[in-house]
Amino acid sequence: MDRQYYLFAYDVSENRRRVKLCDMAQRFATGGQKSAYECWLSPAEASAIRSFSAGVIEEAEDSVMMLRLDVRAATRQLGRGQPPSDPDIFIFG
């Protein structure tokens, strides 16, 4: 299965919608903080996340971004954030 590296981020004004997106993002995340998550996704998973997000947000109030990242690019981190830690085992289901 061909997976690609994404940054999934959201800015959602209403708590119930924010919790739904947070719960969904954490199922796929290998790292992240608050409302931004790093995820390795198959094309089907990326499509499912886009569809789910579109069904949750209010476009006039909220914002969701999925950015495909280049794994060859150097990563630079500023501040106290923790670098992502990939587990030894991924469970896909």
- One of 3.40.120.10, 3.30.1600.10, 3.40.50.720, 3.30.70.240 is the CATH number of 4-68, namely 3.30.70.240
Name the residue among 25, 23, 37 with its Cα closest to residue 69. 37
Which amino acid, residue 56?
V
Q: pTM of this prediction?
A: 0.75
Domain range summary for the chain, segments of one domain joined by +: 4-68
| pLDDT tens, residue order, the chain (93 aa) | 689 999 999 999 999 999 999 999 988 888 777 889 989 999 999 999 999 999 999 999 999 999 999 888 887 777 766 555 666 665 655
CA distance readout (Å), 70 to 51, 59, 62, 73, 90: 23, 28, 26, 6, 20
Asked whether the beta carbons of 62 and 17 are under 8 A apart, the reply is: yes
